[in-house]
Amino acid sequence: MSIIAYLLVIEAASPPSDIPARLVGAAVTEGKVLATLEELSDTVGPRPAGSPGAQAAVEWALRTFKADGLKAWTEPVLVPVWVRGVETGEVVAAPPALNQTLHLTALGNSAPTPPNGVTAELVEVSSLEELEGLGEAVRGKLVLLQHAMAEAKGYGEAARLRTRGPAQAARQGAVGALVRSLATASLRSAHTGQTSFGATPPIPAAAVSVEDALLLHRLRARGPVTVRLVLGCGPGKPAKAWSANVVAEVRGREKPDEVVLVSGHLDSWDLGAGAVDDGAGVALAMEALRLISKVGLAPRRSVRAVLYMNEENGLQGGVAYAQRHAAELPRHVAALEADSGAGRPLGAKLEAGPGGAELVRRLLSPLSALGAAQLREGGGGADIEPLRYAGVPVLELWQDTSRYFDWHHSAADTFDKVVASELVLSAAAYAVLAWQLADAPERLARPPEPKEAPWWSASPLPPP
């Protein structure tokens, strides 16, 4: 069905309030989401936290919000600075094979190698449990963390290997770690991402392309394999820098102190342009707020857009927002995040208290003609996780992610991967969902606060 056909259907099916249909119509006929994402991707480009690109993105977002007639401001966030540098790898001994170049990229928070690199025999594991079971056998070795992710649903388990595996290898005496790229498609491309060492002294850690991970597996079946890894990455100078979240708001007409939050993260990795991760989420949040501001009637409650800084390598923006607005959080009635790319909308994922699912299903009903009225319980997002810990109901825009991990965290994350019609429909769905939550007579019940302690570290704020 075409976008125009969708629009005609939703207009005919709209509830007594015609605002949802008007939001969809405006998104389709006068939307800016595609132009916004193109400008961010192509004129700002990569945006690692603490980089000139990140600062340019903050200035661009503030300028764009204000040009759209919205009240907007920045809120300081102290972020770590990590830089990439040289990165090479090669098989140097795997008789009878000749030396072969490996396509790889450093993982965020990786330590550098010595200038001449590290050369070590490769040990391969497919789980953290298998790695732990090897004990001292990995001392002095280079550990390959292998997995079989082939679909988007496999990301969570594979990400566990990437975030925790190198630190586990370090504790067992390994001199470095390679992780098979978390990708659902590959043209011998490496996909980066964060790895966490905590109190463990970091070791060199890199993501290797899917093809090269499989090559190493096959070579090991023939006999011992030795790899040389050279990484020039490490903390920047300075190792920390001040950046900012960018915030904008449409004030509510009846209960302006109550807030529905829409969000995406402004930072990206440095390999590509950060178009699908998470330029798309940024553009969706900006467009949702712009559309709501232009629809002619403010919702009951305020709608606030937050573009977070440093979701990718530490979550400092999400933690800083929760700290700064702690006194307001009891009046945050819902927090939404878009961080699943530019695919078509399917509905929402939700974590709320009793009755929340029934309420959100009703609020999603105007999106049924778009195929975007499905609800899955258990949602949220990394940046709004601190708000969930404070008892705020959290939602995630549920999108088609079948192609998302083809490009995620790689040099292929560029604007040309975006399907215009799908992004426009997601912008419409995001705006409608935010409006419905902000204008509903009732509020979502708050979920119980988690019993476990938060896993993140505090993000320092500037003096008042």
Q: Which domains does the chain have, with CATH numbers?
A: 3-81+238-439 (3.40.630.10), 85-232 (3.50.30.30)
Count the neighbouring beta carbons within 10 Å of the beta carbon of residue 158. Answer: 22
| pLDDT attached to residue 237 | 94
For residues 135-149, average pLDDT:
97
Cα(104)–Cα(220) distance, rounded to whole angstroms? 18
The region of weakest confidence among 90-104, 184-198, 242-256, 382-396 is 90-104
Residues 388-417: tens digit of each pLDDT: 999 999 999 999 999 999 999 999 999 999
Nearest to 207 by CA among 231, 232, 180: 180
Residues 249-305: tens digit of each pLDDT: 999 999 999 999 999 999 999 999 999 999 999 999 999 999 999 998 999 999 999
Cα(293)–Cα(250) distance, rounded to whole angstroms? 6
| pLDDT attached to residue 453 | 75
Which member of 311, 312, 351, 385 is catalytic?
311
Phi, psi of 346 (to 5 degrees): -115, -25
**In terms of pTM, does the model score above 0.85?**
yes
| pLDDT attached to residue 94 | 81
Nearest to 167 by CA among 155, 159, 176: 176
| pLDDT attached to residue 3 | 56
Say whether 311 is catalytic.
yes
pLDDT above 50: residue 81: yes
pLDDT tier at 449 (50, 70, 90 boundaries)? confident
pLDDT above 80: residue 232: yes
Its sign, for the CA torsion 396, 398, 399, 400, is positive
DSSP secondary structure, 386-417, as one string: HHHHTT--EEEEEE--TTHHHHTTSTT-SGGG
pLDDT above 90: residue 14: no
